[in-house]
Amino acid sequence: MDGGFRDSPIRLNRSLANLEHWDKEQINHRAEKLADTAITIWTAPSLPAEILNGYRASGIRGSRVYSIEDHTRYLHGMILDVFQQFRTRVLNLDPSIQEEFTKRYIAYKTFTSFVEVQPQENALRVTLNAEFSEIDDPQRLATDITGVEKVTNGNVEVHLASQDQLEDVLELVEQSFELHREDGSE
């Protein structure tokens, strides 16, 4: 190139002007020089221990770890029994399924969340991460909540209030699981 690095106004390129070859060795050598320069220009901050400890003590916002105890307001009595059976059955669908407790709901995930549960006074609000049209619901338990403001993912909602509904709700959950298992395997 006419002029090339010899005419470059960028100081970091001056050392390249006299190179005869640009090969792996030269690239690695330049990378080391640039890294050394960067370290001298942008040094790591140095804070006194008392300031660092203050940050460690206060924790990072949003880093709280939630558990089932955070949902005990509604998870007791019959609803707790229904939840425990639901939970066991969902986790037994596949070894890859993970349970995650958040502030507002309990999520069950493979690659992404496929079902979320919000414990309520007299039922479990089960949200399937699927489109309403993707779910075969012969018992008509599901509600299309597309466009409704919500804290969970998904557009299909089912209320699970008793053991009698468990099998039918789990059939819907399995459909959502299959949709997400296929998404992750492609």
Q: Is residue 63 part of a domain?
A: no
Q: Is residue 53 part of a domain?
A: no
pLDDT of residue 182: 58
Tokens representing 3? 């002029």
Q: What is the pLDDT of residues 100-129, one digit of tens each?
A: 999 999 999 988 899 999 999 999 999 999
Q: Is residue 74 part of a domain?
A: yes
101 and 21 in a common domain: no
80 and 129 in a common domain: yes
Helix (H/G/I), strand (E/B), else coil: 166: helix
Answering whether pTM is above 0.75, one says: no
Q: Is residue 176 part of a domain?
A: yes
158 and 100 in a common domain: yes
C-alpha to C-alpha distance for 143 and 158, rounded to whole angstroms: 6
What is the arithmetic mean of pLDDT over 8-17? 74
Range of the domain at 21: 4-41
Torsion on CA atoms 14, 17, 20, 23, rounded to nearest 10: 50
Q: What is the pLDDT of residues 136-156, one digit of tens each?
A: 999 999 999 998 887 778 899
Q: Between 8 and 181, where is the model more confident?
A: 181
Nearest residue to 156 (alpha-carbon basis) of 176, 170, 139: 176
**pLDDT confidence tier of residue 159, bands split at 50, 70 and 90:** very high
pLDDT of residue 14: 73
The three-point CA angle 129-130-132 to 5° equals 130
139 and 99 in a common domain: yes
72 and 33 in a common domain: no
Q: Is residue 89 part of a domain?
A: yes
